[in-house]
Amino acid sequence: MKKIYLIRSAKAEDFSQGISDFERSLRGKGLKEINTIGSYLALQDISPDLILSSCALRAQETAIELSQKIGFEGRKYFFEELYSSSYEDILNIIMAQEDEDNSIFVVAHNPHLIELSNWFSDENIAKLPTMGVVSLSLEIDKWIELESKKAKVEFFIYPNQFKYYMPKQIKNTLPR
């Protein structure tokens, strides 16, 4: 069995003159989003074998901050293709990974993550908010065996789900 976690980068600073979309950094809200989602993942004992991230600044920062939050010290790879390419390009990057890696975090951007999520599963996800996570499980042994509509959505979470009610276990792990 293989697992893929499609993760949209956390909230970045607004567009401003002189800063390209690629160079936008995380905002304070983005760091809070990472803390919330990272706490949830840590409480569920979810950690990948590998992290693949866009090399856009906000995605790199998301991957690094999330790694720290869940205590992941493994391999992280940054790809320009995860920023500007199609969902098919992201799929090809996943399919090229080593088969001993059973769980992969993919930190990237919309609309490609939504398109990829909907390619993997019959469940139609219309919007993936910042720091949203779609967890997919696949009954395969090799990454090259990925097929459309063959994944099961294990969960779909995003920070605003915890806006009005946050379990004590998560609240207790957040910085004050």
Q: What is the pLDDT of residues 4-49, one digit of tens each?
A: 999 999 999 887 767 787 888 898 999 999 999 999 999 999 999 9
The ranges assigned to domains in the chain are: 2-11+24-171
pLDDT at 74: 96
* Long-range contacts formed by 147-152: CB under 8 A, 24+ apart: 148/119, 148/120, 149/119, 149/120, 149/121, 149/122, 150/120, 151/4, 151/120, 151/121, 152/121
- 172 has pLDDT over 90: no
* Three-class SS state of 65: helix
Q: What would the two tokens of residue 29 be?
A: 């809200």
Q: Is the pTM of this model over 0.85?
A: yes
- 175 has pLDDT over 70: no
Q: What is the pLDDT of residues 63-107, one digit of tens each?
A: 999 999 999 999 999 999 999 889 999 999 999 999 999 999 999
Torsion angle, alpha carbons of 25, 111, 76, 62, to 10: 30
131 contacts 11 by C-beta, under 8 angstroms: yes
Q: What is the pLDDT of residues 47-69, one digit of tens each?
A: 999 999 999 999 999 999 999 99
pLDDT at 157: 96
Class of domain 2-11+24-171: alpha beta
* Three-class SS state of 108: strand
